[in-house]
Chain A
Amino acid sequence: MSFFSDPRWGEALAHLPDYLGNHVRVSVTALALGLVVSLPLAIAARNHRAIRGALLGFASIVQTVPGLALLALFYPLLLALAALSLAWFGAGFSAFGFLPAVLALALYSMLPVLRNTITGLGGVDPAIREAAEGVGMTPLQSLFQVELPLALPVMMAGIRTAAVWVIGTATLSTPIGQTSLGNYIFAGLQTQNWVFVLFGCLAAAMLALAVDQLLALIEAGIRHRSRLRVLAGGIGIATLVAATLVPQTARAPSGIIVGAKTFAEQYVLSALVAQRLRAAGFSAGSREGLGSNVIFEALAAGDIDVYVDYSGTLWANQLQRADIRPRAELLAELKATLAHRNITLLGELGFENAYALVMPRRRAEALGIRGIADLASHAATMSMAADYEFFSRPEWAGLQKAYGLKFRTQRQMQPDFMYAAAASGEVDVIAGYTSDGLIAKYDLVVLEDTRHAIPPYDAIMLLAPKRAGDEALRAALTPLLGSIDIATMREANLRAAGGDGASSPDAVARWLWDKVGKR
């Protein structure tokens, strides 16, 4: 099969109107908001050195915050604001997706616009400013007829930089619930679908280039006083925006929104849920690649309707509990607590995706390591790797306390690469996930947790408050409960990591249903 006949190209293309449209919408809105805020600020600050310094300093600091963090910060902030607004004015708003993305990206766009506007206005020859005064212009006439037109080429260069930054950074708005070209990249990275990753990167780069070139055309038009070029550039941008608005208005808002976090199992399960819903006659859409905290709050706020979470995750993150309870007890308490927030815990899917310490089978056998307890005496000479959050999670503190573990080195890694790193001996032990298919693929072994330091992580289906009484929805989802055992999920996950046409979440979800639906 040649590279280009890979069916995933077609699948990627099918998502393009939705992803590109959302990407353009969020970028253009953010850029417009950024301009509306930055331009007056820069104009007001141009003659005040202290304000100018403070503004540029602020914008520079914003710039040093990594894009992903900035986007993620706006979510809890808006969530709190939405709660306040609901309490005070009786009307809330969605803190999910579009709004936090627009605000964070608008902040991100400010530095180049502020800097170039201030530089451009400051670069106007004082003799020309004086001439404007001398011929009898008011300060406003001088600003609009002389200073701004003369500064415009420099300002346009800043706007171009801002546009390219915003379009690039908008790919990071996927985890806070804003669909963008980043959906390709996040999904592709998690499911080892390099076609998606490549497609997403290319699409974002081409969009950025196209917008940059159109703005360059306008800039050249201004510089050379060519109305034609300004008009052509303006029409180009307007066409781009209009074209991306068409599919949105044509498509009815889809019924049930299924959420998925940022890893392969979640993509497969959300595809499975969506397929079952469609089979039951619902219209179903999805919001994928959401951050772990974002997805729960999105469900609570009704921005998504259903998703699969894990009992231990909610226990630690949402209930803020550090103690560990036996499985049934934990589930019961979780169910009761969630019910207070009107969230329905529909039931378990039948498998667990818990953290587990994992190492190569041969090495474990050679060293006589069966469980984590046996590992303790070797740990001082060993290195360990885990995902980005594990070392700051209560499970790790619990493990260290229960077994007295102390490794020589600890590293953080992209989860997909961890297993291969363990298999190749680059690290000795990893904190893997029990349902991960790569454990079998690389001949790794899960070390037994005899002292129960790690809480249970049953996969559980959650429903949003507004869907609590939807019997048809419950009926459509109930067949999934208790149907997926750990071996089946591991195999599904392995298939999802296959890196070929049959490994798309949709294809794996169909395979999974074929396997479990008959039971």
Chain B
Amino acid sequence: MQISPLIAFAHVGKSFGGGRGTQAVRAVDDVSLEIAEGEFLVIVGGSGSGKTTLLRLANRLIDADQGQITVEGDDVRSVDPIQLRRRIGYVFQSGGLFPHFSVSGNIGITPKLIGTPPDEIAARVDELLDLVRLDRALYRDRFPHELSGGQRQRVGVARALAARPRIVLMDEPFGALDPLTRDALGDDYRELHRKLGLTTVMITHDMTEALLLADRIAVMRGGKLLAQGTPAQLSRSEDPYVGELLRTPRRQAERLNALLPRGSAA
């Protein structure tokens, strides 16, 4: 069962600021974390916990001060950051679509940067639109401002998958969506993850979402990694903050069970 991890953080640290009399902030503090191939890891934490910084360290949107990060066996410092980003899919908060590109332009951007022939890109775009359940003919030539939030995020996922990456990083991808859309997208992505054999690292502040999607959950607070493990392992954690994070979904589940007895319409 034990295989070499696809992504590994070893004693990684990153500070911001510290210039001109301001106090330096340790955004990530001595974090060690391994993500196995095919795993769906969700990092949970509040704002300022360092979870977004940790994610960006993996594809060198930010460079680490300390420690070592390896992706697919390579130390990220030894590879060209541009090439690294082109082989890792990245889904941004609320899409991050280019407003002046059509849907197909957005999805096809990374293949285009790599130099894929246009007809191949067009075929790939259609394939991806099917994959994220958007009608090819209807959406291919639309612009981002003509899409709903959920549709935009589906395009964001398609864009991340366009260059056939093995790894997908997701920065609170479903945070701004309404609960129904969010649920549907979460399920759809989870299915894609399985079908395509992806390795996914997603960050969220929502423990319920994490529990529903993740193989394994990592909890961060104040730049430190507090706990990691499967939902079952986490529930046995003695860390008070982890306990607090788990209390909310538990209570919600109990109340929902009481309010919506089995056999009702839901």
Question: A interface vs B, CB < 8 Å?
Answer: 127-128, 130-138, 141, 146, 149-150, 225
Contact = CB atoms under 8 A, between A and B. Distances in A.
B49 interface: no
B59 A134 contact: yes
Contacts of B40: none
Interface string B98-125: 1110000000011001100000000000
B266 interface: no
A206 to B, nearest CB: 34
Contacts of B27: none
Contacts of A141: 113
Given A135-B85, A138-B82, A130 B113 contact: no
Contact of A130 (B83, B92, B114): B92
A-B complex: 5 closest residue pairs judged by Cβ atoms: A131-B96, A136-B86, A136-B85, A134-B90, A135-B110
Contacts of A146: 98, 100
Contacts of B90: 134-135
A225 B100 contact: yes
A136 B98 contact: no
Given A134-B59, A135-B110, A141-B113, A127 B93 contact: yes
Contacts of A135: 85-86, 90, 109-110, 113, 159
A146 B112 CA distance: 14
A138 B59 CA distance: 14
A149 B100 contact: yes
Nearest to B59: A134
A128 B82 contact: no
A335 to B, nearest CB: 70
B85 A134 contact: yes
A221 to B, nearest CB: 13
A132 B85 CA distance: 10
A260 to B, nearest CB: 54
Given A134-B85, A135-B113, A150 B99 contact: yes
A127 B85 CA distance: 16
Interface residues of B, number: 21
Contacts of B109: 135, 137
A150 B93 contact: no
B97 interface: yes
B61 interface: yes
A244 B147 CA distance: 47
A138 B83 CA distance: 10
Contacts of A136: 82-83, 85-86, 110, 113-114, 163
Contacts of A128: 96, 98-99
B61 A132 contact: no
A130 B156 CA distance: 14
A134 B224 CA distance: 25
A149 B114 CA distance: 21
Contact of A131 (B82, B92, B113): B92
Interface string B206-235: 000000000000000000000000000000
A132 B99 CA distance: 12
- Find the residue from A128, A134, A146, A149 having the highest chain B CB count within 10 A: A134
Contacts of A133: 61, 85
B97 A131 contact: yes
B53 to A, nearest CB: 13
A427 to B, nearest CB: 62
